[in-house]
Each structure stands twice: as C-alpha cells, then as structure tokens.
Structure 1
Amino acid sequence: MSQNTVLRFSRADAPEDLVDGQWQNRTSVLDEYKTYLDDRWNEGCTNAWNLWEEIVPLGYRGSYQRVRAYLHKKRTLPRPVTARPPSPRTVAGWILRRPDTLTEAEQIQLKSVRTHCPELDALTLHVRSCATMLTERQGERLPDWLDAVRQDDLPSLHTLAAGIDRDHEAVIAGLTLPWNSGVVEGHVNRIKMLKRQMLGHAGFDLLRKRVLLA
C-alpha cells in the first residue's frame, strides 16, 4: 500500500471518503433497467430470477448475479416509517366528541382525515350541527339541517332524515321543549328488570306487587 493511500485513509472523515476515485459513479449495464426493476419492485415483484428473466428480452446482457445484488441492496435499505392510520372507531369518537375536548394531536389527525375524505368532512359538519341543536335546544333549525343533509351523498344520514320526517313535530318538540320522557323510561326499565329477575315464570299479580313494593 502506497504512502498516499495510507494518508488518504487516515484523513477520511466518513466511510464515503474511502470509496471516491475511479470506481465511484461507474456506469453499469444494469443502469438503464433500474427504473423498470424499481417499478416492478414497488408492484410487489421481488424475485431476482423472475425480474432477470423479464429484462433479458428487453435487451439486458448482464449477469443474473448483478440483478440479484441490486435487489439485495434494496432489501437491506431501511424502510421509511409511516404513521398507522386511525381506526374507524377512533375517527367516529373524534367526530362525536366536543371539538374543544380533542387534544391538539387528535385535531390535527381529524383535520387530515377530513381533508382526504370529503364524505367524512360533510358528516362531521352535520354531526356537530346536530349536536348544537340538541344541547342548545334549537329545534327551529331542524328543517334547514334536514335540507343540508339531503344535499350530500350520505345514504345513512338520508335514512335518519326519512325517519325524522315521520315524527317531524315530535322531534322538533324534543329539540325545543325542556320536558322529556326520561322518568317514564326509567320506570319502564325498572319493570323490565323485575320481570327478567322472575325469569318469566310469575304472573301479572306478582309483578304488580313487586313494582309497588320496590
């Protein structure tokens, strides 16, 4: 080994500095076929022998070993880390929650989802508008909300709108008036619980006594 070579190795700041020279950037018979190999690799074809057989009819005159070495290098390269997309359940939770309760990261992720999916963006707007009607008792806004829902291609919401139309006045009253049937529903659930406890073997008289004495 010459003195110049020893000095060059000793002064190298990085491994790349050791391989510069006449061999660096040397052309290869495989160069003009690398784009084809890259495309086939991205399509899922990673078998070196099959890819060598594909490029030979295209004019490749090099060896199979060269193709295998090129693909081996692609296999050993670190793959970019990509964020795992949120699950449908997670996205639904973000949409149904109050916007001010979402963390900054959740808001950013939901914004990205809405940007890439116009249907989910429209759904989010309708859900939040409906939530405002429910919490602020704005039943007078229901007709406009139903019209807005029907203008978007959201079949599930169209089904909901059709159901609301069948009880239009009752739904408006429920969204406007301060009274509700919560107490009645509570008593109904209590009676059902007592009935289940008796496993359906007791008659109405016993059920009546248990309800009165509970």
Structure 2
Amino acid sequence: MDVRAYDKLMAMTPDGREKLFQTKNMLIHEEKVKQKMERVNEVRELKRIGLSNREISKRTGLNRKTVRRYLDENFNPVHASYGKKRNGKLTPYIKAIDEYLEKGMMGSYIVEKIREMGYEGSSSTVRDYIADWKKWRKKYYDRSKEDGTKTEIIRRENILKLLYHPIEKVKIISKKQFEMICKEYPFFEKIYRITWEFKSMLTNKNIDALDKWMERAKNLNIPEINSFINGVERDIEAVRNAIKYEYSNGLVEGCINKLKVIKRIMYGRCSFETLKNKILRLEKMKLFN
C-alpha cells in the first residue's frame, strides 16, 4: 500500500473506513433499511398523536399486521436472512469437491464426477468455486510460512512450461521439484511422458512408433488428449507423412497467416480485387525497401 493511502486510512474514523470499504450491495441494503425506518417512524408518529391501528393502516396503505410489527419496540428493519448464505445447487457436493481438489484432480474431471452424483447446475459455478478454493489454499500456504512450516508453491504456468521445453531449460523448476510434482500429481507425469514421447517420435522420424503411441495415449483416457488423437486419426496419412519426410508446409502457413491479417485489417468489406492489389503493393514495397 502507498504511504499516502495508508496515512489517509489511519486518519479516517472507524465509520469512515467502514463506509469506504462498503460494496455496492451493502450500500443498496443500507438505503433500503433507511427507507424502511422512515416508514416505521411515520407509523409510530401517527400512533403517538392518537390514531388507531386501523386508521394508520388506511392512511399509510400498510397491512394492519405490518403496522403492529412497526409499533413493536423490538422491531428490527434488517431482514433476518441478511448476510446468511443460502444453500445452492452446489452445496450438497462441496465436501466431495474439496476431497477431489485435495487429491489434485482437474476441474473438468470434478464436474464429470459430481454430475454422476446428481449435480444439475452449471459448470461455471463449479469453476468459480474451484478458483475461490485455490485462493483460500494460497492464503493457507502463506499462513503456514508464518507459522514456520515449510511449504513450496509452484505456479501452474511454470509447470505447463515443462510440456513445451526440456526440464533443463525451465530454470524456474529444479529436477527435485519436478520429481515432487510427479509424485504429488501422478496424472501430470503421464501427460508429460506421453507429450515428450510424441515430440521424440517427430524429431527422430520414428514412424513405426505412432500406432503404439496412440494406443498408450488412448489408455490414459484424458479428454484433451483423446481429442488430439481423434484429429490424428481423421488425417492419419498426412500425420504419417509429416513424421516420415523432412518437408514442411510452414512457409505456406506463414503466407496464409499474413494474408488473413491483411484481410482482417480490411474488416472483410473490400472485394477480392482490392485485397489482391493491396497484397501485391505490399510485396512491391518490400522489394524497394
């Protein structure tokens, strides 16, 4: 926190600080309570000047039962359920979700499991809960450091780097930490191994290993990997050729990508002739530069 902000907060009264940190919903609730109290005071004033409950009800348009409640000295304008969290569709499955998260299960797997248990809510509700749970866990780990307990936190994005770069090039994660990750989350080790086996197959042009690799990958039963394998099977000959030969369509793809960028810049509003002239003019400018 900036020193000036800190000094400003310290100079404020407790009521002022409370008001500063109020949420929009809290302000709306406060305004509603204020309006209700004005109504309550109106009813009590009419009673003070001698009007009966029936007459007060006619003048204010309130039900006589409501008038009696407003006249009660112990009446509280704040609703009894205010601040209490209602049970939602996810509530019966919270304990199961916590257990799955403790085991390091993925969100998609958790959603699938609780749907089998009868959950009928949206997947986004589960994802939101998981995100909050992870934030709470981070705070717990931070507190454990203060207590003197040694806890290591490795960010998810750093773990994902291991799928794209060799462990030697991911300086932020040591080999010891990598071993701990694999021990704590066995499913990640399986993903790591199958990913690098595929990369090795491409690098070494080992086309004979493709069928066995696909079989091992399918046995993992991971939706994202299954989706990738389905794509490979749909265009199996092209994949075999990509492994077998040195040829690549990377240059063509680069040109196509450039063409798409130019087309997007034009918002797709111009004719093919205009697009052709623009590309040719750009290439001509490159030659002269």
In the alignment, does 2:203 pair up with 1:114? no
Aligned residues: 137
Bigger mean CA deviation after superposition, 136-145 or 171-180: 136-145
Report matched runs for 1:52-71 at 5 Å.
Answer: none
**Structure showing greater Rg:** 1
Match of 1:186 among 248, 254, 279: 254
> Which residue matches 1:64?
none
| 2-structure distance, mates of 1:111, 1:211 | 51
CA separation of 1:105 and 1:163: change in aligned 2, threshold 3 A: closer
Matched residue, 1:101: 169
Where 2:267 maps in the other structure, the secondary structure is coil
1:20-169 correspondence runs (5 A): 79-103=147-171, 106-169=174-237
In structure 2, which of residues 257, 260, 270 is the aligned counterpart of residue 202 of structure 1? 270
Q: Give yes or no for contact 1:174–1:180 (8 Å, CA) kept in 2.
A: yes
TM-score (norm 2): 0.44
Identity fraction in percent: 20
| 1:30-64 Cα deviation digits (max 9, x unpaired) | xxxxxxxxxxxxxxxxxxxxxxxxxxxxxxxxxxx
Contact 1:130–1:145 (Cα < 8 Å) also in 2: yes
8 A Cα contact 1:94 1:106, kept in partner = no
Question: What residue number does 1:3 align with?
Answer: none
Report if aligned partners of 1:94, 1:110 keep a CA contact under 8 Å in 2. no
What CA distance in whole angstroms lies between the structure 1 residues aligned with 2:173 and 2:257?
A: 40
User: Is the 2:198–2:213 Cα contact (8 Å) retained in structure 1?
Assistant: yes
Evaluate the alpha carbon distance shift between residue 105 and residue 179 of structure 1 in structure 2; reply closer, same or farther with a 3 A threshold: closer
Structure 1, unaligned stretches of length 5 or more? 1-77
Contact kept, 8 Å, 1:140 with 1:172, in 2: the verdict is no
More divergent stretch after superposition (166-175 vs 197-206): 197-206
**Higher RCO structure, 1 or 2 (CA under 8 Å, sep 6+):** 1
Match of 1:47 in 2: none
Structure 1 position 145, deviation (Å) = 0.6
Larger displacement relative to structure 2 (122-131 or 93-102): 93-102
